[in-house]
Amino acid sequence: MDQLTNCLGNIYRTHTPESITNLKCYMYVDDPNNIICVYNIDGSVKRMKDTISINRKKESNTFYSINALNSLIRGLNNGLLDKQFRVDWSNYQDMLILSDNEYNCKIIKIRELSH
C-alpha cells in the first residue's frame, strides 16, 4: 500500500484538494502491486509526471486512452479503424485498456480500492 500512499501524496502536492474531484484508486487484479489513481481536476493546467489523459465508459467502468480505443477497434474490426464501430463495453467491465502500440492494446482487469 506504499504505492497508494505515494500516489495520493503526489496528487495532493500537485493539486489543491478543492480542485480534485472523483478520485478513485484501482489495483490490477492479476498484479496487486500495480495501482492507478483516476481523478478529475477543475481549473488546473498542472500535469503530474507519468500521467496520461484517460476516458471512462461509466456504464461498464472501463478506462481507456484514445490510442487504446483505436487499437481495440482495429483488433475487433479486422485491422480497420472505423470511427463508427460500436464496442460492446459490457465485455470490458472493470477494465483498463492501454495501447502497446498502434495495433495492439493491453486489457487489464482492475478492482477499486478504498482510500
pLDDT at 26: 94
Look at the chain and report how many structural domains it folds into: 1
User: In which residue are the cell numbers 463495453 written?
Assistant: 89
Spatial distance between the Cα atoms of 26 and 101, rounded to a whole number of angstroms:
23
Domain that holds residue 13: 2-113
pLDDT at 102: 67
pLDDT at 16: 83
DSSP string, 21-51: EEEEEEEESS-TT-EEEEEEESS-----TT-
Q: What is the pLDDT along the chain (115 residues), one digit of tens a residue?
A: 677 888 888 888 888 888 888 999 999 999 988 989 898 887 666 777 777 889 999 999 999 999 999 999 999 999 999 999 999 999 999 999 999 876 789 999 999 997 5
